[in-house]
Chain A
């Protein structure tokens, strides 16, 4: 404790970032706000839905990639002659047969090659590929490729990656430093000097993996100079862009088509290597080539959650008001950049959203290691720092004797404010989320009153509703859409580049289209995520599609509506402004007896004027400050959430049983409540897995110990507690119909709320994810040894386990 005087935090800067936008008085919607069944439900329950691996083409070959068995080694020679002689082997390729242009999803650091040239950098790095008549022959061929390696010392511990004598992974990046961030807002040192209590805690995250159920697959087909790739992707656009760049093709000659996708969670956002290798093999053989990863290869390709080492210091006054925060992190990036530059910035940028404080410093080092590359996983960079911050705040609350919810309410962000790192927050119901969660969970009757071994914990979070800037620099709109009404008006097709990977964007965008047109959802059809037939959209990441793709769809729908009403006005001999159209029925506003069907007007339109088409596009306004890294974390709108969990700890085994969990969300106006709550369920489930069980583990040579779904331990139906998904009323002025995101935001508070429930139950702080029984047990043992003091050191436990 220090600082004799308390001046209190400065009042938040009050701004209205979108003064022209107001909450509409009329919220009686015909199509949105309703739990319409998924547009692809029938295909998915009957087995009719075709995923990329289900596609077959005449004359198709099967392809596999040969990967490195070493974490770090020099390639001395590659001999493919024996493999080439095996009957059924149609092509074998290495780095000599492919472009050597480096690629990567982050333009800031293009550091990957299609195949390794000099060195392999992790167990699973890509070395060669084969195309064969069948899958079995592929494995024979891979075995017959002779690669001579000189094994090099490897960097497996990120904390020693920057040591003077550490082996160098990329010569261009000395000390294995992939990226370094130093951001400073306000005056943190002064805030700490003025604080009544300053505390530092250290937390460690885990390497988690998205583990979508559908393995990555890509099938490449050349027709003359044009390449078509069917892919299980979250973003056909970025694939198209990077494939065209790699092969020097015009983007118009690269067609990427998303089929049904069996989940992504961030893992299918960037090229996997299957597209590049497949395109070359298809070119060489003149035949379609289907490339795919098995489950272990998916774990090795990875691009999952970074493990972060998070030192966090906060100064508060005696009322618990946050005066300043310093986040000092190190991130294990693995062998390549992937999306990791953005991840590194997100890790610090998103911490300022939920609480109102003015002084913030963020230091981050993302280091290369000889482990699989990490990327963007649901919540992109934010969940682990949020776990650290929320755990840290509970430590502070305990020290000051303040109820954890009360502490959060005192600091909760208000609407129309700006964060210290210059994110403009419009709608924000942080306080309402906390209050509602407190009430729904029965917090007042439980906190401090539960029987021994039981505990209750709270944590909050916030997330972007779409990134303010695209991944590479371009002035393309972020989303575009087109609607074509059928000639007789009995159907309308939405063409959108938005990418449904299971979250339901096809469904909600059709609801939005119908609402804007004055049509019915049941008559909507959709063509999505095909770079040739649908207009550009950046795809499914950063929780962007409901807001951004939705804005484009709304505009397209309104254009259809306007043209339709003009035609109806001609037919009814009335001025168009006197007409309205809702759910397929055109009527005169002041005389409901005058009606005309949507179909009749649309048919007449086609007869007289040709196709009835609406177009829309969306670009966000210029957002954010002017400092380095300012764009990361900007968004037109932010969601907010509070989560509470109740746990029971078995003191003998350290086992954590989750008894109940509540999520209260401010996600703006809801388009489809059933799908929204389903997103929350999935996020809570995934967050729970990462909190308690999931972790990719390695042996001392950098080989994954648990590359299976069973041993990685994704939760089963038997592990899941009751879940309560609750909403608070909210409307976002910067979004179409006031929408905001939900899918990623609900993952962000989860780890912190479990940790805090364990802390409440046992008084031990498990400062390392996942919160496994062995760690909880070890923490309890240390506490007993220390005579009841919570002295558990996360670093000690890390060593114990690994």
Chain B
């Protein structure tokens, strides 16, 4: 990885990562968080910040297919990886079945947890296309929601899973 020191002696690193299918080569600092790279540099503000401590899961993105809290991942750690954010879930304007299901089941209120919820659910349905309710709850246990009591979110994920079968 290429590094250039600035006048204060702080290193900048040239990394390369794929986000929603597009290749980017940003220059980042050692302490740059993936969530800030996505939001501030790449303008992908669908990834939300709720706590910056890994508690709330609002910043969940898929990193090489796995859901991660982007506030706990350094941009440097994402070098060479493939990231999917909420902006990469719909294809050419067509909603993913999970997105459709969230709308149909009134699983959205303020919407702040929604991007992270959908990505955690997407990772679940990719590895387990027919989850039980308990498996759905387990998969989204790291995504806090303050509005819905999770009732309709769980319903939406289960319904999206049924649609695939």
Contacts and interface: CB of A to CB of B under 8 A. Distances in A.
A45 B93 CA distance: 12
Contacts of A718: 137-138, 141
B146 A265 contact: yes
A38 B103 contact: yes
Contact of B58 (A213, A675, A720): A213
Contact of B147 (A47, A54, A502, A716): A502
Nearest to B104: A37
Contact of B87 (A46, A263, A685, A716): A46
Interface in B41-82: 43-53, 55-56, 58
A685 B149 contact: yes
A41 interface: yes
B30 to A, nearest CB: 12
A366 B115 CA distance: 41
B106 A38 contact: yes
Contacts of A175: none
A261 B87 contact: no
B110 A212 contact: yes
Interface in A449-506: 501-504
Contact of B95 (A42, A684, A709, A717): A42
A512 interface: no
Interface string B141-158: 111111111111110000
Contact of B149 (A44, A51, A681): A681
A442 interface: no
Interface residues of A, number: 53
Main DSSP-derived SS at the A contact region: loop
Contacts of A49: 111
Given A263-B112, A502-B111, A675 B106 contact: yes
B152 A45 contact: no
A19 interface: no
A709 B56 CA distance: 7
Contact of A263 (B109, B115, B149): B109
A47 B87 contact: yes
B151 A41 contact: no
Nearest to A294: B52
Contacts of A677: 106
Interface in B101-129: 102-106, 108-115, 118
Contacts of B141: 716-718
B52, B140, B143, B150 — which one has the most chain A CB atoms within 10 A of its CB? B150
A674 B111 contact: no
Contact of B46 (A48, A213, A504, A681): A48
A215 interface: yes
A47 B55 contact: no
A709 B144 contact: yes
Interface in A137-184: none
A115 to B, nearest CB: 25
Given A295-B51, A709-B144, 4 more contacts: A37-B103, A502-B110, A684-B149, A717-B137
11 contacts: A45-B115, A46-B46, A210-B146, A213-B58, A260-B110, A262-B48, A263-B110, A294-B52, A710-B53, A720-B150, A723-B149
| In the complex, the 10 A-B pairs of residues with the closest C-beta atoms, listed nearest first | A47-B46, A502-B110, A685-B149, A262-B112, A44-B111, A47-B86, A54-B45, A681-B149, A41-B103, A674-B106
Interface of A: 35, 37-38, 40-51, 53-54, 56, 210-215, 260-263, 265, 294-295, 501-504, 674-675, 677-678, 681-682, 684-686, 708-710, 714, 716-718, 720, 723
